[in-house]
Amino acid sequence: MSSIDIAKAVKIAEGVHWIGFYDEKAGFHCNPYLLIDGDEAILFDPGSVQDFPCVLSKVCQLVDFKQITHIIVTHQDPDLCGAIPRFEELIYGVGGSCKIVTSTRASFLISYYGVISDFYCVDQNDWSLTLRSGRELKFTSTPFMHFPGAFVTYDPETKILFSGDIFGAFSFTWELYANEHYIEAMKAFLENYLPSNKIVRYAMAQIEKRDIRMIAPQHGSVINKDIQKHIDALKGIECGIDLEEE
Amino acid sequence: MATYKDLLELIAKREFGIIGERNTRSIYSSIGLDLNGDVTLEKNDVSFGDLEKLMDVLKEKYGMVAIIGCKIPALRMAKQSELQLPDVLR
């Protein structure tokens, strides 16, 4: 493990912080992120109920709850969304409010967590979100990766791709930044959750249109070098129905 | 045609990513299989029994994540070369 203090929020780019939880006994880790833009804060895939205390402590190090105006969630799974109602309690409890940014398809399912915020559906808003400062976040549809309405978020200012489950990994020897064995760790996870190589290649073709400096997945490690190598590795992945068709 | 040696080397490479290089080498050594620097096995006569032992130790120490993570490439190689797999990998 490097000298990075993962007990605290870790700045991975200007205004962007990793606020995840490293469970040394688990092979699967949660990586929420917080983007701070002026007086506004955006929470990405806030995580599970189990991870909430750790994630919360890191959010508290960085912003007041009132500053959180948007929670971006790539799909409805509990490891990403379980903590949303708890964050809402804190945000609304101090007089704030926020929107849940997701796809229309995911919004139907996320409502079952008992969320109280309005949805901002990316597919009904020209696949972009403009912050108060004028900064724009861009969304890209990555259908069936692994949810039909899945998408990724690109921040043109930092050139970070917030990728949700895509580029995530299984790892018991987790490090914040991807190491030389990360492609194997990534395949270990994604081969089990993605539906077919054809679908992966479509998503990678969309993703590589962006000028990406860093990939920030919700599981696994942050990829801060050899971006194209990791994209190419996923293009070659065989998963889901591919094996049945052999 | 791939052999059990090929299969265990394939799994080793994958486990470098999942449980880490040091832990993978340690687990292989614990079942009498030493890995070279290039992730090949020193021993040539590797059997289905070795694969079973490896899966048992991986499951015991790391649970099903370590097994599921290598399942797809193992299944593929086993299918192509008609190698038997332990139940946990099927």
Count chain A–chain B contacts defined by CB atoms under 8 A. 71
Q: Digits of tens for pLDDT over chain A (246 positions)?
A: 458 999 999 999 999 999 999 888 888 888 999 999 999 999 999 999 999 999 999 999 999 999 999 999 999 999 999 999 999 999 999 999 999 999 999 999 999 999 999 999 999 999 999 999 999 999 999 999 999 999 999 999 999 999 999 999 999 999 999 999 999 999 999 999 999 999 999 999 999 999 999 999 999 999 999 999 999 999 999 998 988 776
Nearest Cβ partner for A170 among B23, B65, B76: B65
Q: Is residue A136 part of a domain?
A: yes
| pLDDT at residue A120, as a whole number | 98
For residue A45, what are the domain limits? 10-240
Determine contact: A28 vs chain B, CB below 8 A: yes
Distance CA A78, CA A222 (A): 21
For residue B19, what are the domain limits? 4-84
Q: Report the pLDDT averaged over residues B13-33.
A: 97
Helix axes B4-18, B48-62, angle to 10 degrees: 20
Q: Is residue B90 part of a domain?
A: no
Token digits for A192? Answer: 């089990």
The phi-psi region of residue B5 (left if phi > 0; otherwise alpha if psi is between -120 and 50; otherwise beta) is alpha
CATH number at residue A22: 3.60.15.10
Distance CA B26, CA B33 (A): 9
Q: Report the pLDDT averaged over residues B40-65.
A: 96
Return the residue in A181, A189, A223, A243 with the most chain B beta carbons within 10 A, the one to mutate for interface testing. A181
Q: Do A183 and B23 touch (CB under 8 A)?
A: no
| pLDDT at residue A28, as a whole number | 87
Q: Do B21 and A181 touch (CB under 8 A)?
A: yes
Token digits for A122? Answer: 């990316």
**Lowest-confidence region among A28-32, A240-244, B7-11, B31-35:** A240-244
Share of chain A above pLDDT 90, in %: 92
Nearest Cβ partner for A246 among B18, B20, B79: B79
How many Å is the Cα radius of gyration of chain B?
Answer: 12
Q: Is residue A5 part of a domain?
A: no
Return the residue in A175, A184, A189 with the most chain B beta carbons within 10 A, the one to mutate for interface testing. A184
| pLDDT at residue B90, as a whole number | 87
Residue corresponding to tokens 């409890």:
A93
- Give, in order, the Cα–Cα distances in Å from A79 to each of A153, A204, B67, B90: 18, 24, 21, 27
Domain tally for chain B?
A: 1
Q: Is residue B89 part of a domain?
A: no
Residue B10 has pLDDT above 70, yes or no: yes
Domain tally for chain A?
A: 1
Could you report the per-residue pLDDT of A93-136, keeping only the tens digit for each?
999 999 999 999 999 999 999 999 999 999 999 999 999 999 99
Number of neighbours of residue A129 by Cβ within 10 angstroms = 20
Residue corresponding to tokens 């259908």:
A143
Could you report the per-residue pLDDT of A147-175, keeping only the tens digit for each?
999 999 999 999 999 999 999 999 999 99
Phi and psi (nearest 5°) for A59? -60, -45
Q: Is residue A107 part of a domain?
A: yes
Q: Is residue A141 part of a domain?
A: yes
Burial (CB count within 10 angstroms: exposed 0-12, middle 13-18, buried 19+), residue B80: exposed
3-state secondary structure of A131: coil
Locate all alpha helices (DSSP H) within A73-121, ordered by sequence. Answer: 78-81, 84-93, 104-110
Whether A159 contacts A212, CB under 8 Å: yes
Q: Is residue A158 part of a domain?
A: yes
What are the residues whose beta carbons fall under 8 Å from the beta carbon of A134, sequence distance 6 or more?
Answer: none
Q: What interface predicted TM-score (ipTM) does this complex get?
A: 0.94
Q: Is residue A245 part of a domain?
A: no
Q: Is residue A4 part of a domain?
A: no
Q: Is residue B59 part of a domain?
A: yes
In chain A, which residues have their Cβ closer than 8 Å to the Cβ of B65? 26-28, 170, 172
CA closest to A241 among chain B residues: B72
Whether A230 contacts A169, CB under 8 Å: no
Q: Is residue A2 part of a domain?
A: no
What are the residues whose beta carbons fall under 8 Å from the beta carbon of A107, sequence distance 6 or more?
Answer: A100, A119, A121
Residue B51 has pLDDT above 80, yes or no: yes
